[in-house]
Amino acid sequence: MKVLVIAHGHPDFSVGGAELAAFNLYRSLQRHPEVERVDFLARTDQPSVGCGMIGLRRPGEYLWRQDMHDWFLLRTAYANGMYDALRAFLRLKRPDVVFVHHYAHIGLEMLRELRRELPDAFICLTLHEYMAICAHRGQMVKARSGRLCHSESPEECAACMPERNAESFWLRKHFIQKHFEAADMFVSPSEFLRRRYIAWGIPAEYITVIENGQPQIEAAPAAESPALRTRFGFFGQITEFKGVEVLLQALHLMRPEVRRTLQVEINGANLEHQEPKFREMIEKLRAPLVVEGSLRWVGPYEPHELPRRMRKVGWVVVPSIWWENSPMVIQEAFCCRRPVIAANIGGMAEKVEHGVNGLHFEARSPLDLADTLTEAAGTRGLWERLSANIRQPISYEECAKAYLSLVSW
């Protein structure tokens, strides 16, 4: 079996959850006895690769210079990269199986070209977010009000983005669905996302749930410092959708004598790339907390540094203000046997069982999060009970085996 894994980024340049999931699948397939050869094709914007062209990164790994011309219809900017470079690459490799982990920054045309050049291959598309459903950055958050969006329709989408009419959203949906017909199977890392896509139009029998694989980390000692029970950590990108401001607001809402018994660490990057208004809000919230000592702004980290940093805290907080799908940080926390405090919506509520391996709080509510942090730090025996209930996420190898089980001949 010859396999090709396609992703919208290479971990050498982009360490998002989908990129890491795709690369880890590729590495695991290299060790699988049924796989004769596996290649990894990752989209890049590196200037060392010509526009639309495909270049070698290292043996088995290739960079494809691509970008989007039309984000509304998810169409490529470099058509020659589809009609020339990709076709030539597929003719050379002739994979029997293609696992596509995204079309963002690449273009939907890729799916059509895969089927055109590989009519007998098994093509599987993993859906990591709601981009096909929602034209507003795939977030399913209302463009003007910022409210959560619970369903899509041409009329609702036109009301959300009035610069386009309902007919254009109807056409967009059917344009995307037509390209999706090139895939034999779809994978969702969460049941929540799967149900959203079934409601959107993918037949239930053609989409299944496979969680992203995780490394097998040595279990932490059974007895740890009691101080960990009052230490909370945020890990991930600092953007307007990840909810860091909700966490900081929650700290401000606590009584000072309670807040000073806690310590919150922010491990994250890319604040400098956000809008000025958002940066100013975060700075206004964090500055007095840092001076007080209840907040430590630790900064960005490399993937290999995550376990060490995560073991310095007792709880991992996931306060995202959108639905999320299957946040990698939740699985990473469970690998380190750290209970998770998560917003009670989307894939977060699915992955974290309230009172079993973590706690829920009312999404977007700093007040409820403040109460939950207080409960977590002050309830005797709660951390120990939740930590003991954590189950190890599936390994990279188990994930690869699950993907290969989908292949039909």
| 209 plus 239 within the same structural domain | no
In a domain, 283, yes or no: yes
| 186 plus 110 within the same structural domain | yes
pLDDT at 220: 56
In a domain, 159, yes or no: yes
- What is d(CA 161, CA 142) in angstroms, rounded to the nearest whole number? 9
- Do the bridges between strand 97-100 and strand 231-237 make them parallel or antiparallel, or are there none, so unpaired? unpaired
- What is d(CA 190, CA 208) in angstroms, rounded to the nearest whole number? 9
For the stretch 192-227, pLDDT in tens is 999 999 999 999 999 999 999 998 876 555 446 778
252 pLDDT tier (thresholds 50, 70, 90): very high
| 169 plus 40 within the same structural domain | yes
In a domain, 63, yes or no: yes
Q: Assess contact for 233 and 310: CB atoms under 8 A.
A: yes
Q: What is the mean pLDDT of residues 63-86?
A: 95
pLDDT at 378: 93
| 53 plus 73 within the same structural domain | yes
pTM: 0.92
In a domain, 191, yes or no: yes
The 185-188 sheet, strands edge to edge = 54-58, 61-65, 37-44, 2-7, 97-100, 122-126, 185-188, 207-209
How many distinct structural domains can be found in the chain? 2
pLDDT at 43: 97
State what percent of residues in the chain have pLDDT above 70.
98
B/e letters for 198-220, b = 16+ CB within 10 Å, e = fewer, are bebebeeeebbbbbbbbeebeee
| 59 plus 205 within the same structural domain | yes
In a domain, 221, yes or no: no
Q: Which domain holds residue 116?
A: 2-213+395-404
User: 409 pLDDT exceeds 50?
Assistant: no
For the stretch 287-310, pLDDT in tens is 999 999 999 999 998 888 999 999
Q: What is the mean pLDDT of residues 247-260?
A: 96
